[in-house]
Amino acid sequence: MSDQRNSTIQTLRRLWPYVRPHRARMTVVLSATMLAMLCGLGIPLLTQRIVDGPIQNKETGPLPWLILGVLLLGLGEAVLFYIRRKVVARPAAEVEARMRFDLYQHLQRLPVAFHDRWQSGQLLSRATNDLTTVRRFVAFAIVFLIVNSLVVLIGLGIIAALSPWLLIVSLCGALPLIVISYFFEAKFKVVARKAQDQAGDLTTTVEESVLGIRVLKAFGRGPELSKRFLAQARELRTTELHKISILASLWSVLIVLPELSIAGMLGVGAIGIVNGWMTVGTLVAAVAVSAYLRWPIDSIGWLLAETNQAASALERYWEVIDSPVTVTGPATPVPLPAPVRGHVRFEGVRFAFEDGREVLSGVDLDLRPGETLALVGATGSGKTTLTALVPRLADVTGGRITIDGVDVRDFSLEDLRTVVGTAFEEPVLFSASVTENVGLGVPDVSEAAVREALRVAKAEEFVDALPWGLATRIGEQGLSLSGGQRQRLALARAVVGKPAVLVLDDPLSALDVHTEAEVEGALRRVLRDTTALVVAHRSSTVQLADRVALLVDGRIEAIGSHRELLDTNEEYKRLLSSMDDDLIEEEVAS
């Protein structure tokens, strides 16, 4: 349990760099809160003066001044609490915003392999729910945990000054409270972490259901997924009820023990008054102080629970932040050659996943400037992995890739991804305008450049037919468009910056025959001046290439022109026949 407490403290201490820039405001918040609580503690002492003075002696002279003192203390308490609320809002919100920005920025820098492993719902819950918990901790829990602990100590000191006997009675209730709170705190943290993880899983299910609604409806799997969602929701509800059960047990103890202390104080005080060693005013003041300490004492359990929830949220946050960025730019990047010719070489390239499974086993390729090379291979042969290595979406685990003789790892990532344009098999579009989607990789792209890229992708006609043309927002993931339209926009995005190297992963797979022929014609013109590596899953795509490389089990088995491989390589002929039987028969016949 001590290890768990140390872990909680260490986790919370890592929050300090985010809080440090706001330490002046947080000092004001702590001071205002402390002074407000002291104003509340001062009222019982004035009450003692009123009872033992004007009431007992039947003197009304000092009474107005004492009552005025009570009013001023009450007013001061209210004003100071207002100041606390006003001042704490900005630092708490800025801490949350800064942490969310750092998380988002880190997610952008993490390699694709990280995102393949993590559920998007888990990442989303860390960026939203967990950071909201941290903001509540900064704005409220940490402030009152410090202040209320000090107020309880000061209150006990006041009771000791009034009567040591009454202090002993108070401690008989306070000491068991500390032990019980310690026990419940450790138990609550485990359950809180479990609830946060389950909430992340539930978020993933909701997100996948929304994004895949067409598939679910088409296959009639909505009810089945609803059952899964209901089962996850019930698990989360059970965990939340367990949390509530722990808090309820703690709260019952927090309520009973102070009540017993007050009862004990009344008993001891009555004996003291009867025997003459305690005044009525002293007893009234001590009981009033104990009553005022009820909220600081009662809140400690809840504040410890909030602290543990914040610690669990921060642990989940640091899990992502501490994930290493494995694809980074060099300390001293090599500048791009002027001009970039686009000579791409793969020299003994190897790639293995983190589990040790090797996908590429010594790939050697030489793409001459302006050459288009089609990459053909069976499913799982490593084609997509090979294309991901050029723009460094992942890094080689052996060998190297060069552009114009320079290792791609020696360029800055920004320069490299300016030189290398990419279009993936699955086109990803964002909830933004057509111009913003096409010009994603080219800041301040002109409308003329966007239109030229759209013409290459044969997308200008359908874009102009949209309600607001280039300014039309195309919706989340572009689901308002057809598959072919999305793919053409993704292709336009790849060519808009006129990169020296193009990496295209089956760029024509979602196009109909007529559109495919048109795009092929436009692509031929673009590819004349660009070095291109094209993953081909269709025989028509192969026709775009100057040469074809056959990838088998992570190795280049054969390379040559389409006609050469068709005549000499049975594996290539078999792969092509599975792509398009009609075309292969025509080729063989000729």
pLDDT in tens, 507-524: 666 566 666 666 676 677
Backbone angles phi, psi at 337, to 5 degrees: -65, 150
Long-range (24+ apart) CB contacts under 8 A made by 215-221 are none
pLDDT of residue 131: 93
Residue owning tokens 């280049």: 556
pLDDT above 90: residue 31: yes
Higher pLDDT among residues 190 and 138, named by residue: 138
d(CA 26, CA 34): 12
Q: Side-chain half-sphere of 563: how many Cα atoms within 13 Å?
A: 3
> How many of the other CB atoms lie within 10 Å of CB of 167?
19
pLDDT above 90: residue 478: no
Query: Quick one: how far is CA 296 from the chain centroid?
Result: 34
Q: Among 16-25, 61-70, 152-161, 563-572, name the one with the lowest average pLDDT.
A: 61-70
d(CA 232, CA 119): 15
- Residue pLDDT, tens place only, 290-326: 878 877 877 777 787 788 889 889 998 999 999 998 8
Backbone angles phi, psi at 421, to 5 degrees: -95, 145
In words, the CATH class of domain 89-321 is mainly alpha
pLDDT of residue 579: 66
Query: Quick one: how far is CA 329 from the chain centroid?
Result: 23
pLDDT of residue 590: 46
pLDDT of residue 6: 57
- Tell me the two tokens of residue 15: 């929050």
Backbone angles phi, psi at 118, to 5 degrees: -95, 140
Domain 344-589 has CATH 3.40.50.300: yes
Give Cα separations from 20 to 15, 55, 314, 496 (angstroms): 9, 51, 17, 44
Domain borders along the chain are: 89-321, 344-589
d(CA 31, CA 23): 12
pLDDT above 70: residue 216: no
Average pLDDT for 38-49: 81
- Tell me the two tokens of residue 114: 């990280």
Q: Give percent of the chain above pLDDT 90.
A: 23
pLDDT above 90: residue 428: no
Average pLDDT for 128-143: 91
Query: Quick one: how far is CA 55 from the chain centroid?
Result: 63
If we measure between CA atoms, which residue out of 508, 512, 513, 531 comes closest to residue 456? 508
**DSSP secondary structure letter of residue 423:** E
d(CA 34, CA 76): 12
pLDDT of residue 559: 92
- Residue pLDDT, tens place only, 365-406: 999 998 989 999 888 888 888 998 999 989 999 999 999 999
- Residue pLDDT, tens place only, 342-368: 999 999 999 998 878 889 999 999 999
Q: Side-chain half-sphere of 361: how many Cα atoms within 13 Å?
A: 11
Strand (E) or helix (H) holding 159: helix 142-162
d(CA 376, CA 362): 17
| pLDDT confidence tier of residue 455, bands split at 50, 70 and 90 | confident
- What average pLDDT does the structure give for the chain? 83
Does 89-321 match 344-589 in CATH topology? no
Average pLDDT for 220-242: 83
Residue owning tokens 């009454």: 166
